[in-house]
Amino acid sequence: MDEDINILILSCGTRNKIVQYFKKELAGKGQVITTDCSELAPALYDADKHFIVPRMGEEGYLDIILSICKKNNIKAVLSLIDPELSLLAENRQGFLDIGTMPIVSNHNVVELCFDKYGMYKFLINNDFKAIKSYIDKEKFYKDVEVGIINYPVFVKPVKGSASINTNKVNSKEEVEILFNQYDNLMIQEFMNGIEYGADVYIDMISNELVAIFAKEKIKMRAGETDKSVSIKDDKLFELIKDFVKKIGFKGIIDIDIFKVDDEYFISEVNPRFGGGYPHGYECGVNIPKMIIKNVSGNINEDMIGDYKEGIYMMKYNEVKIIKGN
């Protein structure tokens, strides 16, 4: 008799759709178990079972998660928040030792995704188009003088999630004020183009890229894609394939891309389910199913671009109600 395929989703927060999708795909095959440090994380309540755990930074956190995996016979673990991806990647062997597969890229790859300047250097060193980026403001001022880059530009932390603390600035004075106030900032070219997103799955067994879902972002709200439309473009697919291979991703990644003058520029990578992934799932790009297939020991076949173009996604608020203790 086959064993159950139980999957653990850490720091599930408000990502109910991800939990719902896993539950649907696992029906009859295993359970979805969720954790969060807050009882008011609505996605907790869409799982078959949930645990309230300490904050990720607290001592003993990893042991608690490992113990949940052991006791619940967890076959795969994934996280929906950035800092935890490093934790999973760093402790991959510890999870594998108890029979749990962390669905995450290798530690050095995860770290590179969170270092915006490091990613920029990787991109230009590997002949990809990249959004001009500077950590040296004097070099930036020189490039402004000779017209290599112009205001406005973005000033943002080298490490930082979403659009938190990102400032659009128009002058040297503003750059100076920000660099005096904060450490570890970078200056990035303002891209006046169309924004795209791609949800990508790299098979955990074959290490081959097997799925890409690409969409144009139509409207953003609080740093998240609110409305998008599915697109297909072989040039974009080839770029993503090349990029993913060179960097060596594993599992799920979400790539942000700009298109300016018919050229694609890779902007950022989240090595986890992106906030806009439900669009891909609803269009048939079923990454939970691919993860389950991998966990069952089977390789996924290439289904790159296997979805319809011109399908629109719009978000709205759903609510979850619980009774307090």
Minimum distance, C-beta of residue 280 to its own copies, in the bound complex (Å) = 11
- Establish if 310 lies at the interface with its own copies (CB under 8 A): yes
Nearer to its own copies, 93 or 181 (CB): 181
DSSP of 2-31, one letter per residue? PPP-EEEEES-TT-HHHHHHHHHHHTTT--
Figure out which of the listed residues 155, 279, 286, 287 binds its own copies, where binding follows CB under 8 A: 279
Q: Using DSSP, state whether 90 is helix, strand or coil.
A: helix
Minimum distance, C-beta of residue 53 to its own copies, in the bound complex (Å) = 18
- Establish if 11 lies at the interface with its own copies (CB under 8 A): no
CA distance 151 to 171: 7
Figure out which of the listed residues 151, 179, 182, 312 binds its own copies, where binding follows CB under 8 A: 312
- Establish if 318 lies at the interface with its own copies (CB under 8 A): yes
- Cα 66–Cα 70–Cα 76 angle in degrees, nearest 5: 75
Are the C-beta atoms of residues 198 and 261 closer than 8 Å to each other? Answer: no
Strand order in the sheet with 224-231: 224-231, 209-221, 194-202, 251-260, 263-270
Interface positions, 25-54, toward its own copies (CB under 8 A): 40-43
Residues 163-202, one symbol each (x = binds its own copies by CB under 8 A, - = not), give ----------------------------------------
CA distance 119 to 156: 14
Distance of CA 215 to the CA centre of its chain: 15
Minimum distance, C-beta of residue 317 to its own copies, in the bound complex (Å) = 5
CA distance 77 to 66: 10
Binding region for its own copies (CB under 8 A) out of 91-99, 107-115, 126-134, 279-287: 279-287
Q: How many CA atoms lie within 13 A of 313 on its CB side?
A: 26
Minimum distance, C-beta of residue 229 to its own copies, in the bound complex (Å) = 6
Interface positions, 202-261, toward its own copies (CB under 8 A): 218-219, 221-222, 224, 227, 229
Nearer to its own copies, 15 or 156 (CB): 15
- Establish if 303 lies at the interface with its own copies (CB under 8 A): no
- The two tokens of residue 268 are 């950022």
Minimum distance, C-beta of residue 218 to its own copies, in the bound complex (Å) = 7
Give the residue from 44, 94, 45 showing the smallest Cα distance to 70: 94
Give the residue from 95, 129, 100 showing the smallest Cα distance to 262: 129
CB-based contacts of 165, cutoff 8 Å, min separation 6 = 156, 157, 182
Nearer to its own copies, 176 or 309 (CB): 309
Are the C-beta atoms of residues 52 and 36 closer than 8 Å to each other? Answer: yes
Nearer to its own copies, 232 or 315 (CB): 315
Minimum distance, C-beta of residue 163 to its own copies, in the bound complex (Å) = 12
Minimum distance, C-beta of residue 135 to its own copies, in the bound complex (Å) = 31
Minimum distance, C-beta of residue 90 to its own copies, in the bound complex (Å) = 29
Give the residue from 310, 302, 149, 308 showing the smallest Cα distance to 228: 310
Nearer to its own copies, 147 or 310 (CB): 310
- Establish if 313 lies at the interface with its own copies (CB under 8 A): yes
Minimum distance, C-beta of residue 197 to its own copies, in the bound complex (Å) = 14
- The residue count for binding its own copies (CB under 8 A) is 36
- Kindly list the residues in this chain that would bind its own copies in the complex (CB under 8 A): 14-17, 40-43, 218-219, 221-222, 224, 227, 229, 275, 278-279, 282-283, 308, 310-324
